[in-house]
Chain A
Amino acid sequence: MSQTRNNVFDEIKNTFAQTDFPPLTWTTNNYNNLYAWLKLENPSQLTEAAKILQSLQARLCTITAYTEDRSNAAKQKAIAYHFAIHDILFCVTVQIYDKETLEPLAVPSITPYFRNADWNEREFMEMYNIKIIDHPNPKRLFLDERLDAGIMTQLIPFSSMVHGTGSRNLWEQVMLEKMGYVPESYKAALQEPEFTKVEETKKEAPKPQTEEKE
């Protein structure tokens, strides 16, 4: 490790050792890049963590909101805040739900400490329907106001969106009929619709608009 990195590493380690936060985890990769990981116990600790990271001259790289499992209806959301301090990447993770009731918790804005958190927080507010406390500019970033917050956590299959399922049902009906099997549920759908009979009237040929001259 270079001297500068050693100093930064020691400074981070010593600063966080003096707090009540859980201990940091350190990892490295094949290129000798160093990563620090901090897991907060609840969102109320975020402000304090942001304050410390600002004092360490951290740069906010980005913020990632995510659900802890694949279920669309997952209530267990969490946020990972990614910082760079010198050449070290520092990730702060916090679960934003009550551990017993699974009810979502609001998250304090870190924009007073990191100005570029503005767009990141606005993005996860609309994409994940996360409540932010004291955001200076809480308007939509990408999504139109008319769309529900959190809509991007739902997968709407393209076939459903364009009514492709209707075509699939019709195709299945045609194939079943060809095979000589018509299930009860399809019989009603296959019956010809009853139309009101309209007596055909013989239409007269339209008269020319201009009278022919003799």
Chain B
Amino acid sequence: METKQHETKSFSLPLGPIHVALEEPMYFKLELEGERVKHVDITSGHVHRGMELLATKRNFFQNVVLTERVCSLCSNSHPLTYCLAVENLAGIQVSPKAQALRVLAEEIKRTASHLFNVAILAHIIGYKSLFMHVMEVREIMQDVKETVYGNRMDLAANCIGGVKYSVNLELIEFIEKSLVRTEKHIKEIIDIYATDKMILRRTTNVGRISAEDVIKYGLVGPVARGSNVRIDTRKTAPYLIYDQLDFDMITETGCDVHSRAMVRLRETLESIKIIKQIIRNIPEGELNTLLPHIPAGEAMARSEAPRGELFYYVRTDGTDMPLRLKWRVPSYMNWDALEVMMKDCEVADVSLIVNSIDPCVSCTER
């Protein structure tokens, strides 16, 4: 009996910028050999808004509002890091109470953001019931945001010199109860992601990036930690009161989509641990200070946003508007590293790998 030799065909496959498999508008030109991706070319710029230029036309106070609108998922990290940069420049002291409340907002956002990402992972692999369940658990944190801050995404918690909100006993009780519910569910979810055969089959050894490549591409956040590279600004260059809190830096060694998801899931438990410490011991003091004159100069600041290190640079000339405001988000390097993660992957895994970097295109393009 004759057997036919099937030739492997090479062709290009355009994906995006608007595609049902993509969470964010980005154009991928995939060079394929059969079902395997041999090369990926990324074209971005579809949501570039010129926000950095706009920031130089706004005063320091207005830019707190502007930076909160760079992105929704890490909307608290942007104004926080911007405020840290301006405070570094002007030498503004933030009270311990305001620092604690800033950390509280950050960790509530991180928990919701991480849960959203792992929920999308389940959605992509077709595990709809798990997707719905994780989103439902995330909804508890969304309720916390809405109850404490009055909004589900943009919290408006930060101002230069402190915060714009406080929590009373009633709110603390509500947060505590919500954490108990969330923690119980997250532990179950972690168990599912760690052991479910369908999840393991789709995510293990997919989208691999070695620790050497993580360092070479300057990657940060759960993507770096998923390849066992220990970078977490909260630990490596502590700010606010992070050095006084008890929590662990989470790392995994698999270097794949599964490891990155597990880092995020395990980090939600660390965030809950931090939130519990904060609400049990909120220091007394002022919430904020008067905005002083911002002198001419330059300053840098960074924080650990849900996706990794967020960097801000501000340059001033003594007026009430920055001469230059630059920010670099973790997704910026992570997009570039997709060429490594997608090398030799199957076409069906492309959207899964893109999701594993927890991409944010509005942050990247600004």
Contact = CB atoms under 8 A, between A and B. Distances in A.
A143 B88 CA distance: 33
A143 B313 contact: no
B178 interface: no
B236 interface: yes
A23 to B, nearest CB: 17
B236 A59 contact: no
A31 interface: yes
Contact of B48 (A60, A62, A114, A142): A142
B317 A89 contact: no
Contact of A62 (B44, B240, B313, B317): B313
Nearest to A153: B53
Interface stretch (A63-71, A100-108, A168-176, A190-198): A63-71
A9 interface: no
B93 interface: yes
A152 B50 contact: yes
Interface centre among A29, A67, A152 (most CB of B within 10 A): A29
A75 to B, nearest CB: 16
A59 B218 contact: yes
> Size range of the interface on B?
35 or more
A181 B315 CA distance: 48
B216 A82 contact: no
A89 B53 contact: no
Query: Which secondary structure dominates where chain B touches chain A?
Result: mixed
Given A87-B236, A143-B45, A80 B302 contact: no
B328 interface: yes
B154 to A, nearest CB: 23
Contact of A114 (B50, B218, B300): B218
Interface string A1-38: 00000000000000000000000000001110101000
A51 to B, nearest CB: 16
Contacts of A30: 87-88, 91, 93-94
B317 A70 contact: yes
Interface string A80-109: 101010110101000000000000000000
Interface of B: 44-45, 48, 50, 53, 56-57, 87-88, 91, 93-94, 215-218, 236-240, 298, 300-302, 309, 311, 313, 315, 317, 323-324, 326, 328, 332-333, 335-336, 365
